[in-house]
Amino acid sequence: GAVVSQHPSWVICKSGTSVKIECRSLDFQATTMFWYRQFPKQSLMLMATSNEGSKATYEQGVEKDKFLINHASLTLSTLTVTSAHPEDSSFYICSARLAGGKETQYFGPGTRLLVL
Amino acid sequence: GQNIDQPTEMTATEGAIVQINCTYQTSGFNGLFWYQQHAGEAPTFLSYNVLDGLEEKGRFSSFLSRSKGYSYLLLKELQMKDSASYLCALMDSNYQLIWGAGTKLIIKP
């Protein structure tokens, strides 16, 4: 149980294009989903917290107009990287927390983004 | 504010035991997590401690002392596949995870 999927797993795109990443909780309802970014050999960096049906809460230094988050249902959150640039190349990982639960976050497999 | 410290890297031998320590400072505490992350992959959940003491789960055990702001992850009978980064994460008063930088564990034959 508690499986989280992400799609796509790999994205290569040209600079200036927008990329959409989906995060789904497959066998549970997730009131809260989290979006992280991880650069090589660095720790996870929380970008934003996404609550179903409300606006995401962004961490300091993360541009909300560049990283659009939508959490339209209890099983799906999307992250759209708008006008991606090479410096946005990173490993993007989502996690989901059980509805009504305040503990364990379950992670998706991650999405590697390479912007050329 | 919060602060989490764990060693950057550790080396151990296959079949041996290794203990990865994590110390923290926080004003609000709702538990401490350990995650395993293999290179190029997302973290996977290992353990959660919210009360003092030792939680054993197969080859892996996790210990917490809230009064000392201290936790450790104990790995027994090390296998080559245990080579990974081990992330200590603190859950704060808002139920948000605060992540340590991770400890890279290298297992040698």
pLDDT tens digits, residue range B12-64?
Answer: 999 999 999 999 999 889 899 999 999 889 999 999 999 999 999 899 999 99
Instruction: Report pLDDT for A104.
Output: 81
Separation between Cα atoms, residue A21 and residue A88, nearest integer Å: 13
Q: Two tokens at B96? A: 């948000």
Instruction: Report pLDDT for A41.
Output: 79
Residues of chain B in contact with residue A43, where contact means CB-CB under 8 angstroms, are 87, 99-102
Instruction: Report pLDDT for A99.
Output: 63
Q: Are A79 and A69 spatial neighbours (Cβ–Cβ below 8 Å)?
A: yes
Place of tokens 């764990």: B6
Contact B48 A102 (CB under 8 A): no
**Quick check: A49 contacting B, CB < 8 Å?**
yes
Q: What is the pLDDT of residues A36-88, one digit of tens each?
A: 999 887 888 999 999 888 889 999 999 999 999 998 888 999 999 999 999 99
Separation between Cα atoms, residue A65 and residue A82, nearest integer Å: 8
**Quick check: B33 contacting A, CB < 8 Å?**
yes
**Quick check: A54 contacting B, CB < 8 Å?**
no
Q: How many other C-beta atoms can be found within 10 angstroms of the C-beta atom of residue B84? A: 20
Q: Are A63 and A5 spatial neighbours (Cβ–Cβ below 8 Å)?
A: no
Separation between Cα atoms, residue B44 and residue A109, nearest integer Å: 9
